[in-house]
Amino acid sequence: MTPRHCCETMTRHVNMRCDLHDDPFDCPDALIRFSAKFQEYGLIIHDGGTSSSSIEFCPWCGNRLPESQRDRWFEELERRGIDPWEDEVPAEFEDERWLATSENATS
């Protein structure tokens, strides 16, 4: 399942790949971090680390971005008896696949 972003410009920034830098946090041209796992967007802070500042609206089209699913991710793992700090987290929880599984479980 490929995430749909709010506009072409956001899609281009989220999918941007640099020929010189493997890690977007090392690339000064990379502006947006998108976490498929949490459905979160952030502006990359280029300070040598991996920080980003969460955003709620697209800087280009102004649309409201999806609500973060971070809390729901932790709640779903807890419901399954998985401690993400101690236990092995199932592979489907490393991207957006868990959203479809948890929606099916609650339907």
Annotated domain spans of the chain: 8-54, 70-106
Over residues 2-23, the pLDDT tens digits come to: 568 999 999 999 999 999 999 9
Judged on CB neighbours under 10 Å (0-12, 13-18, 19+), 83 is exposed
CA angle 13, 16, 19 (to 5 degrees): 150
Residue 103, pLDDT above cutoff 80: no
pLDDT digits (tens, 9 = 90+) for 33-59: 999 999 999 999 999 999 999 999 999
pLDDT of residue 102: 73
State the pLDDT confidence band at 104, using cuts at 50, 70 and 90: low
CA atoms within 13 A on the CB side of 27: 16
Structure tokens given for 37: 């796992």
Give the long-range contacts of residues 76-84, CB within 8 A, separation 24 or more. Answer: 76/102
- The C-alpha atoms of residue 83 and residue 86 are separated, in whole angstroms, by 5
